[in-house]
Structures are given as C-alpha cells and as structure tokens.
Amino acid sequence: MLRFLRPLTQAVTYTRWLHLFISVVIIGMWILVDDEHPYLVVLLLAFAGLVPAVRLAEGLQARLLLTRHGFRDSESGISAAPSASWPDRWRTVLWLEIRLVLGLAISFLTVHLPGLTNDLVRAATGDPTRFSALDLPGGHWWYALLAPLPLILLMAAVVGTGHLITVVALQLLGPSAAERLAALEERTEQLLERNRIAHELHDSIGHALTVAVVQAGAARATGNAEFTERALTAIEETGRAALEDLERVLVVLRESGQPVSGRPTLGDTDRLLESARASGAEVESELTGPMGAVPGPVSREGYRIVQEALTNVLRHAGPVRTRVRIAVADGSLELEVLNPLSTADGTQGRSGGSGLRGIRERAALLGGDATTGPFRGEWRVRVRLPLDLAAEVRR
C-alpha cells in the first residue's frame, strides 16, 4: 500500500502534472485568437517542431519538470540542444503532438473528476446542482460512499500519465545518435587527457625523486664536501623543475578546457642530460638532424620518453655510462638510450613496469613504435616516431 502512495509524496509527480498543464495553454491562447478552428493548433505545433530552437526549449523544460535530476546533463537522459538533423525535427514534432494529447486528457480529468466527487456528495444529500459532465440518476445516499473514487482515479491518472510522458521524453528528446557519438568522443578525449596527465606526473616526479635518491645516496657514500655540494645543487634544480611541471599539470586539472603550454621539448634535452650527469652517470649524447623541424607534440613526447628512459637507468642500473642518441631523418624521429645491463640475468626493470609501458603507449599514440630490452650486452630503449603523423596531432 505504501508503495502506491509513495509517488504522491514526491515533488516530481506534481511538476510532471504542471508540465502537462502547460501544453494546454497553447490551445487556450489559440482559441482566444480563432475559436472557430481550434484544430489548427495541431498544424501549428507541427510547424513549430521543425524549428531547431524548439527542441532546445522543450528539452530544458522537460529536464526541469519531468526528472528528479533537474538540469544535470549526465543524469537526466534528456538532451538540451537545438535540432541538428531532420530526424531530430520530426521527433520534436511527434513529441509536441503526444504532449498535447496527454495534456488534454489529464486536464479534462483534472477538471471533471473532482467535479464528479462534488456531484456524488450533492446527489447523496438531494442537491440537484451538477458540475461534471456525468448526469447522475436520482439521489441515493450511497453516492457518498463513491465520492472518493474519482479523486483516487485522478491521482492514479496523474502518476501514470506523468510516468508515461517522462518515458516519451526520454525516447523523443533523448540524445540523438550524433549527440551520443559526440558525447562518447568527448569522454574519450577526457580519458586520454587524464591518462596523459598521469604519465606527465609519473615521468616528471618519478625522475626528480630518482635523481634525488641517487644523489643523496652518492653524497653520503663519498663523504666528499665538494661532491655533496654538487649533489645538493642537482637535487635543488631537479626538484624545482619537477615543481614547475607539477604546477602546469595542476593548471590543466583546475581548468580542464585550457591546453597544456610550456611543457619541455627536445630543446630542453641538455637540462635533462645535465641532471643525469649530476647524479653521477656518464652520459654521452648524439643529436643529429634538424631538431627545429620536429612538430610540437612529438617533440614534447620525445622529451618525456628520453626522461623516462634515463630515470629507468638511474633507478635500476645506477650512475653508469649511458649513451643517448636523438636523430631526425627520413621523416621520423629516432630516440635511443643504451646502458650496461644492471643484473647478471640480463634484465633491467620489468616489461610490465609503468615506465616502460608508458614509453610504448606514448609511441603508439603518435603512430610510432618502441622496443625495450637487452641488446648486444646492453639495455636498450629505442623509439621511432613518424613526423608526418605527429604533425597533425593537436594540443
């Protein structure tokens, strides 16, 4: 019993009732203008539904009055956008006609069912006055027992019709196939952006922490004041650079629509190599080709790949001799980082590690490829990124 009464305690039941009443206002306004041809309002609604902005207005009104979520886009299930295609327009026309029919039905019941209750009470007392369209025969006392039934029927009609109009709204005013595809693409872009930000934090902060740990350990082991001074300077510079990267990422998180700017590129490789050298590693570098011809997206990702490869060296092999090669030739960027293997079994890191996996994901995102693993007695990270594909990537 309580389950049937619960809808009567919910505000959305009465806002749906109001929504149906509003549709009848159009007929009332039309009758004031032309009371001889009220049926023309049906054609008027059909033409109105073809106007793109009408779907926007109907969607906003339906969100506000038919659902419990109000204007919250992701939860209402009702679109609030102008018609973008002819199918959207015809769905809007059908929606307006169905809403008008249901509105007329519930308005009729709202007026006449309470009137019928009044008539039943009056007939039971012998009063001949009538308010409803139903002509009650005689004046029987037991009419009073039937008086609550029209009100119960009205409440059932209000709840049922409100539920029905909501279902119709979800079908006819819900997102079209194009809108669902656009929403899916937007969601995908958001997930890719979050994934990229996660890589940014992992590469930058992970590199800074690795350098700091290696520097601190080496300074304590040597006990040399001059080396300790250099180590502290390197830790300070690396930490400051990591804080700058962190601030840029936080700006993106705070303002999701703002593109990332000022991220390091291959032009900042010297700073990265010096940071590794300050950690005690002997780093040899070879840069060939026109670095200025590398598009922004691939240059930024190339920097992060080299950064992660050097971090991997310091983390697993320590301050060892490392060779870095960056070459631009034949429409592609080639990155290679080589260092001695760190363990007797010929492994360095794990293929499932987040760092090496991140390198492969970055390369695949730009249409390139990456190989990591033992190579001729050394550990090699080799990445090739096509410049023509990456040139089309936008921030």
Taking only the tens place, the pLDDT of each residue in 274-326 is 888 877 788 999 999 888 888 888 888 898 899 888 888 887 787 889 999 99
What is the pTM assigned to this prediction?
A: 0.50
Buried residues in 287-316 as b, exposed as e (16+ CB within 10 A)? eeeebeebbebbbbbbbbbbbbbbbbbbbb
pLDDT number for residue 160: 93
62/80 Cα distance (integer angstroms)? 9
pLDDT number for residue 304: 85
Average pLDDT of span 71-99: 81
Buried residues in 12-22 as b, exposed as e (16+ CB within 10 A)? bbebbbebbee
- The answer for 376, left when phi > 0, alpha when psi is -120 to 50, beta otherwise, is left
pLDDT number for residue 83: 86
The better pLDDT of the pair 174, 346 is held by: 174
pLDDT number for residue 178: 72
pLDDT tops 90 at residue 165: yes
pLDDT number for residue 343: 55
pLDDT number for residue 189: 63
Average pLDDT of span 24-37: 67
pLDDT number for residue 391: 43
Provide, rounded to the nearest whole percent, the portion of the chain with pLDDT above 90: 18
| Radius of gyration of the chain measured on its C-alpha atoms | 36
231/214 Cα distance (integer angstroms)? 9
Residue 353 — φ and ψ, nearest 5°?
Answer: -65, 150
The better pLDDT of the pair 198, 265 is held by: 265
53-67, 152-166, 193-207, 273-287: which has the minimum mean pLDDT?
193-207
pLDDT tops 60 at residue 26: yes
* Cβ pair 326, 269 in contact under 8 A: yes
pLDDT number for residue 251: 54
Provide, rounded to the nearest whole percent, the portion of the chain with pLDDT above 70: 77
pLDDT number for residue 362: 82
Condensed to tens digits (0 to 9), the pLDDT of residues 367-382 reads: 899 999 898 889 999 9
- 125 pLDDT tier (thresholds 50, 70, 90): confident
Secondary structure, 3-state, the chain: CHHHHHHHHCHHHHHHHHHHHHHHHHHHHHHHHCCCCCCHHHHHHHHHHCCHHHHHHHHHHHHHHHCCCCCCHHHHCCCCCCCCCHHHHHHHHHHHHHHHHHHHHHHHHHHHHHHHHHHHHHHHCCCCCCCCCCCCCCCCCCHHHHCHHHHHHHHHHHHHHHHHHHHHHHHHCCCCHHHHHHHHHHHHHHHHHHHHHHHHHHHHHHHHHHHHHHHHHHHHHHCCHHHHHHHHHHHHHHHHHHHHHHHHHHHHHHCCCCCCCCCCCHHHHHHHHHHHHHCCCEEEEEEECCHHHCCHHHHHHHHHHHHHHHHHHHHHCCCCEEEEEEEEECCEEEEEEEEECCCCCCCCCCCCCHHHHHHHHHHHHCCCEEEEEEECCEEEEEEEEEHHHHCCCCC
Nearest to 273, CA basis, from 301, 313, 228: 313
pLDDT number for residue 163: 93
pLDDT number for residue 267: 86
Condensed to tens digits (0 to 9), the pLDDT of residues 194-252 reads: 776 776 677 667 777 777 777 777 777 777 777 777 777 877 777 777 777 676 666 55
By DSSP bridging, strand 282-288 and strand 321-329 are parallel
pLDDT tops 50 at residue 113: yes
pLDDT tops 90 at residue 384: yes
- 75 pLDDT tier (thresholds 50, 70, 90): low
pLDDT tops 80 at residue 342: no
50-64, 181-195, 242-256: which has the minimum mean pLDDT?
242-256
pLDDT tops 80 at residue 103: yes
